[in-house]
Structure formats: C-alpha cells, structure tokens
C-alpha cells in the first residue's frame, strides 16, 4: 500500500497548476506598466498579485530565492512563508517579473516565474549575487564543460547537434563584462543573440528541443541560476555554474554560508530534488511564451509548466474575463 501521508507531503502535479495562477496574476497586473518606464511600479503590482494568489495555495512554501531580505518588503523576501501551510513543504524561487527593465521599456521576453522543489533541496546562493553559467539541451550532457574555452564548447555542441558552427546561436546578456566572451563566440564562427535582461528565459530556450538558442552563457544572477536549474531538470537539459563573487567581502560571505568557489555546480547540485516544478507566464512576447493580450472582454495569457518527475512540458493558454479583474 502507498504511504498516502508521504504522497500528500510531496509536491504533485496539482501544485504546478495552482502556481500558474500566481504567475498569470502577476503578469496581468504588470501589463499597465509595459513601456511606461516605471520598473518599481511594475514590480510592485506583480509582487502584490503573486503574494495574494500564493496565499490561497495549499502548500507550505518558503521563499529560498526571492528579491531580498525582509526589510525590502513589499518584495517577496528570502525566508518568507507562503501558502496556507497545509500540504507539501516546498522551497520556492520567485521572480514576479524576470525582466523589469524589459517591461518598463516595452521590450520582448519579460516573464513572471515561480520554481518549486522539495523542502531543503535548493542551493541557497543568496550570499553571492552572480554566477557564471553554461546552459544547453540534452546533447550537452557529459560533453560540455564550463571550464573549457567557449569556442571549444560551441564546436563540440555543434558537432553533437549535427549542424554547422555558423548556424549556432548563443544567448548572452548584453553587459560590458561580456565583451571578451562575445568576441570569442563570434571568433569561433557562431552568432550571438544579445539579451538585455531575462537570462532565465534564455536558459530555458537554449535547453528546449525547439528553442531558438543553442546555448546560453555568461555571468548572471545566482538566484536566476538556481531557478533555471529547476526547469533544466524537467527538460533533461544541461547546466553548469561557477560562483562569481564581486569582491573579497562577498566571497567571504559565501564561504561562511558554506558555498564552494572554483567549483562547478551542476543541475543536481543546484537543486538536489528530482521533483522540481517551473512555471512562467509571458508578460511581453518572447521566444519562450507569448505576452498578455487583451481581446475585447477577455485577457489571454500563455504559460509554460514544467515538471521533472513526470518529464512533462505543458503550455497553458487561459482566457480571463476582464470584468473579473476590474472587480478584484
């Protein structure tokens, strides 16, 4: 006989479909701020909506990866408890808007996202803000190594995928720190797709079998790296990361927190559970999901829902009555 109490304590597929309600709400509430230049206003509206919906979900969630410490409220802060407290105990990573700058400027690829896994399974890398990342699809598993020169990794992946290097597309955040990396990718013969923000969506795109990117590389936020790993475990893809402290003080904080430097963290070390969830709803149009649309009395959202244990990728299109949102 199955241990029904154990099953109840473990996150199941119903949780993913509950969490998508929270990302849908955050995305819808962010829409009035698209292109308005108000990053804080957009983020605040999305946070309020996500927090309200999470409060109705039957689970005992703890925000392991949020938007700062408690004194930064109204952000969903690290250590905040969410949900009703009944049901499975989970670590969650949240970003009501991954791409606040994209939203404020009206650019592509802004999403609202939540990742979840069994309690105690997510690496808490909050003491070190950045990590170097290498993300790709299943072909890269056992083949690529973040410690190799990027050109070598590009050539190896191109061979594994059976395509010319000249057709390889590599996503990189458009930052001054990546000038040398971008030059090396182009010198290897591959093309770059420079991302203004949102490397979570870029990483998932690179790991997806039908994605526009073959590889996503470079230094980005550590929280985003752990959240991406939840999705990668569901996609059967590849991720390696190395922590990138900005100074000696940050490095020491990481050491005090038990983090390892000059160490390659893979997907299983970033999230030790094999029962991970990743949900994201588009705010603006992007390669991963379409943005929020209004058509007369209806608001349409598109979301992606990933679960590692079942290996499923679901796309959820929902129509929401505008009147209900005006009343809420």
254 marked as part of a ligand binding site: no
Q: How many CB atoms lie within 10 A of CB 179?
A: 10
91 marked as part of a ligand binding site: no
35 marked as part of a ligand binding site: no
Determine the Cα–Cα distance for residues 318 and 24; give it in Å rounded to an integer. Answer: 9
175 marked as part of a ligand binding site: yes
Q: What is the dihedral of CA 192, 98, 231, 278, to 10 degrees?
A: -160
199 marked as part of a ligand binding site: yes
256 marked as part of a ligand binding site: no
130 marked as part of a ligand binding site: yes
DSSP 190-254: -EEEEESS-HHHHHHHHHSTT-S-SEEEEEEEHHHHHHHHHHHHHHT-EEEEEE--SSHHHHHHH
96 marked as part of a ligand binding site: no
224 marked as part of a ligand binding site: yes
95 marked as part of a ligand binding site: yes
100 marked as part of a ligand binding site: yes
48 marked as part of a ligand binding site: no
Q: What is the CA radius of gyration of the chain?
A: 19
Strand pairing partners for 116? 92, 277
221 marked as part of a ligand binding site: yes
5 marked as part of a ligand binding site: no
Residues annotated as binding site for substrate? Answer: 98-100, 130, 175-177, 197-199, 221
Residues annotated as binding site for Mn(2+)? Answer: 43, 67, 95, 98, 224
Residues annotated as binding site? Answer: 43, 67, 95, 98-100, 130, 175-177, 197-199, 221, 224
């Amino acid at each position: 006989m199955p241990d029904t109490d154990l099953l109840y304590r473990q996150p199941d597929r119903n949780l993913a479909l509950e969490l998508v309600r929270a990302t849908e709400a955050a995305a819808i509430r962010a829409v009035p701020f698209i292109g308005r230049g108000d990053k804080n206003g957009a983020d605040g509206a999305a946070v309020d909506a996500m927090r309200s919906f999470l409060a109705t979900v039957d689970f005992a969630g703890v925000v392991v990866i949020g938007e700062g410490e408690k004194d930064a409220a109204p952000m969903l802060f690290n250590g905040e408890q969410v949900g009703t407290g009944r049901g499975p105990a989970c670590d969650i990573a949240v970003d009501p808007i991954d791409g606040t700058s994209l939203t404020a400027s009206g650019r592509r690829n802004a999403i609202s996202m939540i990742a979840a896994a069994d309690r105690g399974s997510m690496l808490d890398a909050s003491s070190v803000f950045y990590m170097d990342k290498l993300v790709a699809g299943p072909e890269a598993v056992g083949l690529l190594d973040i410690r190799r020169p990027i050109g070598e990794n590009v050539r190896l992946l191109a061979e594994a995928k059976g395509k010319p290097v000249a057709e390889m597309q590599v996503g990189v955040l458009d930052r001054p720190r990546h000038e040398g990396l971008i030059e090396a990718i182009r010198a290897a013969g591959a093309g770059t797709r420079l991302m203004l923000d949102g490397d979570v969506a870029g990483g998932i795109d690179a790991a997806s079998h039908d994605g526009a990117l073959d590889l996503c590389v470079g230094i980005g936020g550590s929280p985003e790296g752990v959240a991406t790993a939840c999705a990668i475990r569901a996609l059967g893809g590849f991720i390696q990361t190395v922590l990138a402290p900005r100074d000696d003080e940050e490095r020491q904080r990481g050491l005090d927190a038990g983090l390892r430097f000059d160490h390659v963290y893979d997907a299983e070390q970033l999230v030790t559970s094999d029962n991970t969830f990743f949900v994201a709803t588009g705010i603006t149009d992007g390669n991963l999901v379409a943005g929020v649309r209004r058509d007369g009395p209806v608001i349409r959202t598109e979301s992606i829902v990933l679960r590692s244990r079942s290996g499923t990728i679901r796309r959820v299109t929902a129509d929401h009555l505008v009147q209900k949102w005006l009343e809420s």
